[in-house]
Chain A
């Protein structure tokens, strides 16, 4: 089955720097990949979706890359702010008979210090 790995250790960076989070996967070739943000005690919030034929996608200070050869996605937050502190989840589709479902990684906790 699909296996997804994200940086298990928390990432601590200084305000203004670029945060880079990694999502690696095995055993499948997903058609798309999604990134979500989750704050403590809250549900995840969708950020970006990137398809297999897209190398890069941007939204404001966020950038996602998708390398299907390396089976890896990188998630970048430029000019990071303390308000960006949260856990970031990547998710891949898994196909079953009647459609698809998302399989989530365990998430990487990001802490941006002022």
Chain B
């Protein structure tokens, strides 16, 4: 596979469930990102990892927990979510350690619905 892949593409979960989103990049990039995209709203940056170290957390609720075991993989662990967390969750990667002056490559996203 090439580019940035995300699994699953669609996820429906109850508020008491625990699930994980997976992202994998095949581009040899050093930085990875999680974004949330709600209807008619701008992409919201959730987490940034540079060289496997978290460098940014935009005050995201603790019910979202990221994990970056290596430079190619990124996870977003979900637990006790709320219906307002329903959104498209996008993973992205970039060449540079910080994403500065670097284009970002996005995965197809996971459409999450919380019941």
Residues of A with Cβ closer than 8 Å to B?
A: 4, 31-32, 34, 41-46, 49, 51, 89, 93, 95-96, 98-107
Q: B101's closest neighbor in chain A, by CB?
A: A32
A42 to B97 alpha-carbon distance, docked (Å): 25
Contacts of A42 in B (CB 8 A): 108-109
Q: Do A31 and B43 contact each other (CB < 8 Å), given the known contacts A41-B88, A42-B109, A96-B56?
A: no
Q: Do A99 and B107 contact each other (CB < 8 Å), given the known contacts A41-B88, A43-B90, A106-B41?
A: no
Residue in B41, B100, B106 whose beta carbon sits within 8 Å of that of A93 in the complex: B100
Count, chain B residues at interface, CB 8 A: 28
Contacts of A4 in B (CB 8 A): 42
Q: Do A99 and B42 contact each other (CB < 8 Å), given the known contacts A41-B88, A41-B111, A43-B92?
A: no
Contacts of A104 in B (CB 8 A): 42-43
Q: Do A102 and B4 contact each other (CB < 8 Å), given the known contacts A41-B109, A96-B56?
A: no
- A34 near B103: Cβ-Cβ < 8 Å: yes
Residue in A44, A46, A101 whose beta carbon sits within 8 Å of that of B45 in the complex: A101
